Amino acid sequence: MKAVIFRQHGGPGVLEYTEVPDPSIGPDEVLVRVKACALNHLDLWIRQGIPAYRISLPHISGCDVAGIVERVAAGVTTLRAGDRVVLAPGLSCWACPECRAGADHACASYGIRGAATDGGYAEFTVAAARDVLPIPPTLAFEVAAAFPLVFLTAWHMLVGRANLQAGESVLVHAAGSGVGHAAVQIARHLRATVYATVGDDAKIPKAQALGADQVINYRREDFEARLKELTGGRGVQVVIEHIGPETWERSVRVLAKRGRLVTCGATSGPSVPLDLRYVFSRQLSLLGSMMGTRADLEQVARLVGQGTLKPIVDTVLPLRDARAAQERMLRRDVFGKLVLVP
């Protein structure tokens, strides 16, 4: 089959569109013909190489896969060839105490498709039958591939961690990013007041269309000063943070008393200063979040299927252009998701 692989860590230039052997399926697994695979920032991290993800090389990236079941192992009764499916990006053991308690994203052996395993930058990929979800006939493969990882992540941040309530206010950084565009829609769905930042005026109407009440271009305006103005000096109850040092200190300072900051990423770097006086005097909660539970995924899949949440596909590119797609993601020249099709 055709696939995009890398044989060594490095910049986008290490990606190679080439011929590799077809994967084979084991017990309880299915072979899926990939129809669409969305990009995620994780693809860039693992290509670059970070200690948290030790992978074997050569490697095939791609966490978010939609496709058609090609073949099922003997004993798989829940799926058959021809089914239109989307794959869960989170991989859990389903046997440990965390998994049995419904916290399968805290599983001792938790992994992410396309990082812990080969992923969807290919014509075929393998999944355990339990990690395969049906997609409604109305949903295009490109759209189905665009939602799992980022909507799951944003849902868990807002609902599972921040416990966002109707009538509260939330700041979502980078509304044009994968997690950002999901968080704006979910916060709106939960009837919160949504403030969003973007880095380009052209993204302002797009963020408003997703449901943001106020959109701030962080390149033109200081989002901290503007938010203080917009909230009458009170600040916001929740900040969805996934940027890191570029925004962190101001993200802490814009929190209202008893505010919650939830972080799921660090696209501008891993280390930040923290003024503890803000944390105790304002009684803040700093919450880490990674991925979400299977129940979260099923919930967002329902809402996407109903059309309540709408993954935005910025551009669909052929698989052979994976390198150009990753370069574009690095430039932040995206609103929503980039999707590869074999």
User: Cα–Cα–Cα angle for 186, 291, 45, nearest 5°?
Assistant: 115
Stretch that binds Zn ion, among 46-54, 84-92, 131-139, 196-204 (CB under 5 A): 84-92
Cβ distance to Zn ion smaller for residue 100 or 220: 100
Helices (H), the chain: 41-48, 97-100, 141-146, 148-155, 178-189, 204-210, 223-230, 248-253, 276-281, 294-306, 322-330
Burial class for 194, CB neighbours closer than 10 Å (0-12, 13-18, 19+): buried
Q: How far is the CB of 26 from Zn ion (least distance, A)?
A: 19
Cβ distance to Zn ion smaller for residue 79 or 93: 93
Q: Which residue is nearest to Zn ion (CB)?
A: 107
Per-residue binding letters, 46-65, with Zn ion (x by CB under 5 A): --------------------
The interface with Zn ion within residues 86-115 (CB under 5 A) comprises: 92-93, 96, 99, 107
Q: How far is the CB of 111 from Zn ion (least distance, A)?
A: 10
Q: How far is the CB of 293 from Zn ion (least distance, A)?
A: 11
User: Cα–Cα–Cα angle for 246, 264, 282, nearest 5°?
Assistant: 70
Q: Under rule CB under 5 A, how many of the chain's residues touch Zn ion?
A: 5
Cβ distance to Zn ion smaller for residue 107 or 150: 107
Cβ distance to Zn ion smaller for residue 95 or 274: 95
Q: How far is the CB of 109 from Zn ion (least distance, A)?
A: 6
- Report the relative pairing of strands 90-91 and 111-112 from DSSP bridges: antiparallel
φ, ψ (nearest 5 deg) of residue 216: -115, 130
Cβ distance to Zn ion smaller for residue 102 or 167: 102
Name the site residues for Zn ion (rule: CB under 5 A). 92-93, 96, 99, 107
